[in-house]
Amino acid sequence: MRRDISFFRKALPESEIYIADTSSFLKISDSSLDGVYSIFNSTYCDVFIDSRDVQKGHAFLALNGAKNNGHDFLKDVLEKGVDIIFIDESERGCLLKINENREHDFIAIIVQDTYEALISLAKTWRSYFNYPVIGITGSIGKTTTKEMLRSILKEANIPACISYKNQNTIIGLSINMLRMRDEHKVAVFELGVNEKGEMAQLSETLKPTMALITFIAHSHTKGLGEIEEVAREKRMIFKNLKQDDIGFICGDQQFMLDACYNHPVVKFGQRIKNHIQARKVQAAKDEDGLEVTSFILKMYGQQERVVLKTNHSGAVNNVLGACSLAYFLQVPFKCIVNGVQKFNGFENRFEKRTLKRNKGILISDCYNASPESMRAALLSVHDMQVAGKKIAVLGDMLELGEKETFWHRQIGRLLGKIQSLDSVILVGERAQAIAKTAPINMQLTCVKSWDEAEEQVSKILFETQEHSLVLVKGSLAMQLDKMVTELVE
């Protein structure tokens, strides 16, 4: 199925549609839509909001954002050959500016609000597809679970529409939904929230037929409240599930089990009462001496040993979530096992990188940070063996609200159990609270920014001959990913 002008009229009934030829703009009535369709019906019309990404034949929707106004780039996208542009009513005047020196015809669709128009386009496009649509949310592990499911579906040769990286806001979700196609057999999307009420909008837009909550942790508590309130907001992903749709939860969290559900619920976790379980979980090493995680995967009468290419303790929960979804997509059990075993991590999620000048390994885990994910990363690094120095760079954990100092001090107390660390570098104002409760004899350095931390790490590595291990963990806004770029090959 292709997107044509009649689709845009259905999604945006109050919009004004103009076709621009080389000399003028012509407003199109509903009776004239067939003629316009004959011009713009050769390909799918992909909708973009970033002018840097558009190509000939695409559509460009101009959003008025906090940093940039997309209407300022209309002339640029038309020069790239864009066929359709969406313009906010308040920016109608820009049509006159872009009417000069045009080299090809295009369609201009004027809407009351381009932000709302994008959501309406996504909702309408979603209504055309009947294959399974999956929504994945949770405090931690959303992207990793989604990417593990991608690996499984690839192993099973199942064509799927899967959202790009961590594009999980209402804007990112809408853009990714517009990439659904007839040839896909399933669509998988990540949903993330920072404030109360956001999940209801995401769920209403996506209308998933399967929805999974990875794990509830103290993340975004500044906007969502205490952990019970975080769970309540996340459970809104189930809001639009019908009686024969399926919800998936971590059965190891009691407050998730105690909630009421109006649809079938599948439980995954390490407890024996879960439908899909991991048993005999243990850290191990592969034949090359690399740290791995081994466990027995049990699901509905089938079981097999699984070996993951990571020793991160949270990976098992993510695997179980991905396997649960795959099972109800009727993926063969062997493909499920092979798919998760082939998964080799994802960008900045406990991602192993090689340090420059062959100085050792850096583990980049700096996409986000909560008390639970910080704890899991530190304990996983503690179990790893290294000949040289073991260094932890810990940045601020943001959006924790009134208890942010408490949670940072809890990490300091945890460091008392991580005796294998040779040096800890704390980045940011909040992270300094970690030093208040850390062991007195621990080598601690407090810095303000990622570049200062990079200098400290480089100095330690320069003085060390053996291969070292560096963990970089913190919230995305701390920009520790820039430090990673400077340190790795």
Amino acid in the structure at residue 152: I
Asked whether residue 244 falls in the same domain as residue 328, the answer is yes
pLDDT score at 24 = 58
Q: For residue range 184-240, what is the model confidence (pLDDT) as tens digits?
A: 999 999 999 999 999 999 999 999 999 999 999 988 888 899 999 999 999 999 999
CA–CA dist 20, 84 (Å, integer): 10
CA–CA dist 202, 165 (Å, integer): 17
For helices 142-155 and 315-328, give the axis angle rounded to 10 degrees: 50
Asked whether residue 117 falls in the same domain as residue 142, the answer is no
Write the DSSP assignment of 330-369 as a string of letters. T--HHHHHHHHHH---BTTBSEEEEBGGG-EEEEEE-S--
pLDDT score at 67 = 86
CA–CA dist 472, 364 (Å, integer): 5
Write the DSSP assignment of 234-268 as a string of letters. HGGGGTT--TTSEEEEETT-HHHHSS--SS-EEEE
Asked whether residue 154 falls in the same domain as residue 83, the answer is no
Out of 121, 142, 173, a domain closes at: 121
Asked whether residue 105 falls in the same domain as residue 201, the answer is no
CA–CA dist 206, 175 (Å, integer): 11
pLDDT score at 35 = 47
Coil, strand or helix: which one is 395?
strand
Gyration radius of the chain over CA positions: 25
Asked whether residue 58 falls in the same domain as residue 206, the answer is no
CA–CA dist 38, 444 (Å, integer): 68
Write the DSSP assignment of 116-128 as a string of letters. HHHHHHHHHHHTT
For helices 333-342 and 142-155, give the axis angle rounded to 10 degrees: 120
In the chain, the largest separation of any two C-alpha atoms, in whole Å, equals 80
Asked whether residue 218 falls in the same domain as residue 275, the answer is yes
Beta bridge partners of 155: none
Residue 136, phi-psi category: left (phi > 0), alpha (psi -120 to 50), beta (remainder): beta
Out of 77, 96, 121, a domain closes at: 121
What does residue 59 show for φ and ψ, rounded to 5 degrees? Answer: -110, 145
If one counts the domains in the chain, the total is 3
pLDDT score at 305 = 97
Q: Compute, in degrees rounded to 10, the torsion defined by CA atoms 431, 437, 442, 444.
A: 20
Q: Which residues of the chain have pLDDT under 50?
A: 31, 35-43
Out of 67, 99, 121, a domain closes at: 121
Asked whether residue 117 falls in the same domain as residue 133, the answer is no
pLDDT score at 199 = 97
pLDDT score at 38 = 44
**Residues spanned by the domain of 418:** 351-487
101 CB-side CA count, 13 A: 5
Asked whether residue 291 falls in the same domain as residue 248, the answer is yes
CA–CA dist 423, 457 (Å, integer): 9
Asked whether residue 267 falls in the same domain as residue 298, the answer is yes
Domain containing 456 — which CATH number?
3.90.190.20
**Residue 228 neighbours by CB distance under 10 Å:** 11
The tokens for 50 are: 């970033």
pLDDT score at 12 = 85
Yes or no: say if 57 and 83 are a contact pair by the CB < 8 Å rule: yes
Alpha helices in 93-247 (DSSP H): 94-97, 114-126, 142-155, 170-177, 198-206, 221-224, 227-234
CA–CA dist 17, 417 (Å, integer): 65
The tokens for 339 are: 């798919």
Amino acid in the structure at residue 337: V
Q: For residue range 268-297, what is the model confidence (pLDDT) as tens digits?
A: 999 999 999 999 999 888 877 788 999 999
382-317-280 Cα angle (round to 5): 70
Asked whether residue 193 falls in the same domain as residue 316, the answer is yes
Question: Which CA distances in Å does 13 have to 118, 141, 173?
Answer: 13, 39, 22
pLDDT score at 3 = 65
pTM: 0.91
pLDDT score at 221 = 85
Asked whether residue 143 falls in the same domain as residue 289, the answer is yes
Asked whether residue 148 falls in the same domain as residue 281, the answer is yes
462 CB-side CA count, 13 A: 6
**Among 386, 395, 454, which Cα is nearest to 422's?**
386
Domain containing 104 — which CATH number?
3.40.1390.10
Beta bridge partners of 361: 354, 469
pLDDT score at 286 = 80
